[in-house]
Chain A
Amino acid sequence: MISVIQDTLQTQPGASTRYDSIWAHTGIPSQQPEGLERIMLAEDKLYVVLAVVLIIWFGIVYFILRTDRKLSKVERSIESGIPSETARHT
């Protein structure tokens, strides 16, 4: 399939490839999916939605944890009563 896409991309040098021209040749993939695609394409691609939601969720979780770490640093500096010259970037 990659070669079909690359062929189509080479037919019109200098012009941007019309996206529908790529998919007009390819049709529905017939070979069995393997590897990661076996999971992702199962259940009518429901797991792709799960992956997207998890990416967003873990991104936000990571961000919240980073903010908490900055908060702890400030709290510690208040308790110790020693403000530093310039705040260090975490």
Chain B
Amino acid sequence: MQLLVPNLKRYQVIRTVVLVWMTAVVFGAFLLSIPRINILEHTARNLYFHVPMWFTLMAAAVVSAYHSVRYLGSSDIARDIRAAEAACVGVLFGILGLITGIVWARFTWYEGTNIWWNFDPKQSMAAVQLLIYGGYFVLRSTIEDPQKRARMGAVYNLFAFVTLPFLLYVLPRQMDSLHPGAEGNPAFSEITHPIMRLVFYPAVIGFIGLFWVLYTQRVRVAFLRQRTQGDIEL
């Protein structure tokens, strides 16, 4: 069966664009003057880094779920490989998002306390979400037969994907939380100065592009292993 091998030329072009783009984003993040507000001060710039992590996780989850659906339709192992690698890179960004959120909160809202984990609803739900995707990899590692692993993995992946909008978006907004848009808090667009969109939107696009580059690298490696060793074992 023909693996969906990534087009090398297109990959190299996108990789160059993404790297240049992200360099510009980092420059802009530090050079663009932003309004300073109490407690946050400069850390408002974390908006350009912490929040795109979650947008990237969501994009990765969509890509992964898409390939899982396509696998169930075609039983093409390449789809399973792509679904697994997308989930893997997505979880990386999720973990980075969680850690950066902890550090951000620790030195702003929890300054002076020794509190690192806040049981903020969005924070806790995000951790649960990552555990659910972690279960996907645990499940895959228990099944030896590649086709069976792919099928069960695809079904579980779709379940994990369905929980995503609820855990990351719907539920935290209903509960009292530090995050914008939650009960008692004004919406993100109301409390964020419009100038920050100048770096924020490119940052989201750039990090999703970075996800695509890392994901495509992992897919190329996995396809090589598939062709030389007959099986990938994630």
Q: Which A residues have a C-beta under 8 Å from some C-beta of B? A: 1-2, 5, 16-20, 23, 28-29, 31, 33, 37, 40-41, 43-46, 48-49, 51-53, 55-56, 59-60, 63-64, 67, 70-71, 74, 77-78, 83-84, 86-89
Q: Which residues in window 153-181 of B have CB below 8 A to A?
A: 175-178
Cβ-defined contact, B46 with A48, below 8 A: yes
- 7 sampled A-B residue pairs with Cβ under 8 A: A1-B112, A33-B112, A41-B111, A53-B49, A70-B225, A74-B229, A83-B228
Q: Residues of A contacting B107 with CB < 8 Å?
A: 37, 40-41, 45, 48
Nearest CB on A from B153, distance (A): 15
Shortest Cβ distance from B168 into chain A, in angstroms? 19
Closest Cβ–Cβ distance, residue A88 to chain B (whole Å):
7
- Max chain A Cβ within 10 angstroms of own Cβ: one of B53, B107, B113, B177: B107
Cβ proximity bits B210-234 to A, threshold 8 Å, 1 near / 0 not: 1000100110010011001111111
Pick from A29, A52, A71: contact of B46, CB below 8 A.
A52
* Interface set, chain B 90-145, CB cutoff 8 A to A: 92, 95-96, 99-100, 103-104, 107-109, 111-115, 141, 144
Closest A residue to B118 using CB positions: A19
A55 to B36, CA, bound (A): 23
Interfacial chain B residues near A40, Cβ < 8 Å: 107
Instruction: Tell me which residues across on chain B come within 8 A of A1, comparing CB atoms.
Output: 112-113
Contacts of A51 in B (CB 8 A): 103
Give residues in B with beta carbon < 8 Å to A: 26, 29-30, 36, 38, 40-43, 45-46, 49-50, 53, 89, 92, 95-96, 99-100, 103-104, 107-109, 111-115, 141, 144, 175-178, 184-185, 210, 214, 217-218, 221, 224-225, 228-234
Q: Which residues of A contact B175 (CB under 8 A)?
A: 16
Q: Within 8 Å CB of A17, what residues of B?
A: 176
* Closest A residue to B218 using CB positions: A67
With A45-B42, A48-B46 given, name 10 new contacts (CB 8 A): A5-B115, A18-B176, A18-B184, A44-B42, A48-B107, A49-B42, A52-B43, A52-B49, A60-B96, A77-B229
